Amino acid sequence: MNIPSENLSVAKRISHIEPLTTLDDKILGPHTAVIVIDVQNDFCDDQGCMAKEGFDVTDAQEMASRLPPFLATARAAGALVVFVRNVYSTDQNYYLSDVWLEQAARARAGSYTKTPVCADGSWEGDYYGDVRPEPNDARVIKHRFNAFLNTDLDTILRANGIRTLVMTGVATNVCVESTARDGFMRDYYVVFTSDGTATYSRQDHDATLRNIDRYFGEVHTLSELETIWMSNEKR
């Protein structure tokens, strides 16, 4: 999207730091983090909790198949890759409050109540398929939809000089969107990938993309970002 020149000149004049105004500048490797949200068996596998609730996980599986080569390109470009994973259910129930459990009992088909979700140390909570961290990737454990809430994600990003978040993972309209919104509130540029995220309803997915693009960042395909990174690598 082209920024009107008059608007851009005002933004540059009143900003204390030079704004990043092009996609090329925003996703420059050294200040970019690719955030991989909740690509776990419970949310992507045919035997996970979402499939057991009756949701179609096909889009999540297809999205997951696109991530490994994309992440390899991001690493080669110098971007920080951050894997975020949920731990919700524990034998002692450390994390699920009365509010969370009431919502689950009212709106979910047994998940979090009769059926544990992303239990600590379980197959269900493990990474799905080939979407797994490499030794130099950062790892964050969360217990709520928003990956910034009560985690060390912001500390990791600030310590590494990150300015831009490239959002991937599941579910588009829940954990990925919640994290992207909070990232924007914390003054990170947000680049939300349209085919590097997935949920269980195309309507919900598209609604999030529209909302992010209007209020919280910009939306691009994986290939658009890969093209920029590979072009920079050849220079």
Give the model's pLDDT for residue 130: 98
Of the candidates 44, 49, 118, 175, the residue annotated as catalytic is 175
Known catalytic residue at 38: yes
Sheet holding 164-170, edge to edge: 138-142, 80-86, 32-37, 164-170, 189-198, 218-220
Angle at 35 between CA 8 and CA 172, to 5 degrees: 85
**What pTM did the predictor assign?**
0.95
Known catalytic residue at 213: no
Of the candidates 26, 42, 44, 142, the residue annotated as catalytic is 142
Of the candidates 26, 38, 44, 45, the residue annotated as catalytic is 38
CATH, range 24-234: 3.40.50.850
Q: What is the pLDDT of residues 173-217, one digit of tens each?
A: 999 999 999 999 999 999 999 999 999 999 999 999 999 999 999
Q: What is the pLDDT of residues 92-103, one digit of tens each?
A: 999 999 999 999
What band does 18 get if pLDDT is binned at 50, 70 and 90? confident
From the list 146, 155, 152, the residue with the least C-alpha distance to 177 is: 146
Known catalytic residue at 44: no
Q: What is the pLDDT of residues 125-180, one digit of tens each?
A: 999 999 999 999 999 999 999 999 999 999 999 999 999 999 999 999 999 999 99
Give the model's pLDDT for residue 1: 59
Q: Under a CB-based contact definition with an 8 Å cutoff, are residues 167 and 192 in contact?
A: yes
